[in-house]
Amino acid sequence: MSARVIVFFILVSFLIDSCNSPSGKRKSKVSGSESKGISRFFEVTKVVDGDTFWAEDGTNKSVKVRLIGVDAPEARDAFNKKRGYFGKEAKAYLTKLLDNKRVRLEFDVNRIDQFGRTLAYVYLEDGTFVNADLMKNGYAMVMTVPPNVNFADYFLKLQEEARENRRGLWNDSND
């Protein structure tokens, strides 16, 4: 083999190894965990809107969590986003669901979004899958952002069922 080919393979091997090493991974703000899911539960401290909340992560800084795969209407005007139809209801529903509760977080491929929020699939201690519950009851719509697609088909199915059964924002009598 030529020297160039050998150098090329060494560089490629080095790059692959650095991507797979713990120092090559972007750590979640949630206690720096490298596992796919967090087995412990975190206390919810504040609901921002129908798809975002704050949780106590055991440090002196809380973690802002954005639910993967769902998009709830905005609850209020903020920045360049306007309050959306059924936004207050979506926030109220998530608040009721998470009020005085603890949650477990599971991650997909990307753990942090462009705004620094932790991206997660969220479960209550009783096993309720929060992301799916919002979709099933019509408080959010599907928002798939690759590569975080583990439940995309499931969420589409739940959204379609909510729409067919006129639940939540799909209910014409909400006007």
**104 is a catalytic site residue:** no
Question: CA angle, 154 as apex, 148 and 158 as ends, to 5°?
Answer: 125
Catalytic pick among 89, 106, 111, 117? 117
With helix as H, strand as E and coil as C, how does 10-40 read?
HHHHHHHHHHHCHHHCCCCCCCCCCCCECCC
Tokens 């309050």 label which residue?
Answer: 83
Task: Name the catalytic one among 74, 89, 104, 111.
Answer: 74
Terminal C-alpha separation, the chain: 72
Q: Based on the residue annotation, tell me whether 66 is a catalytic residue of this protein.
A: yes
* List 66, 104, 106, 111, catalytic entry: 66
Q: Is 74 a catalytic residue?
A: yes
Catalytic residues, by residue number, are 66, 74, 117
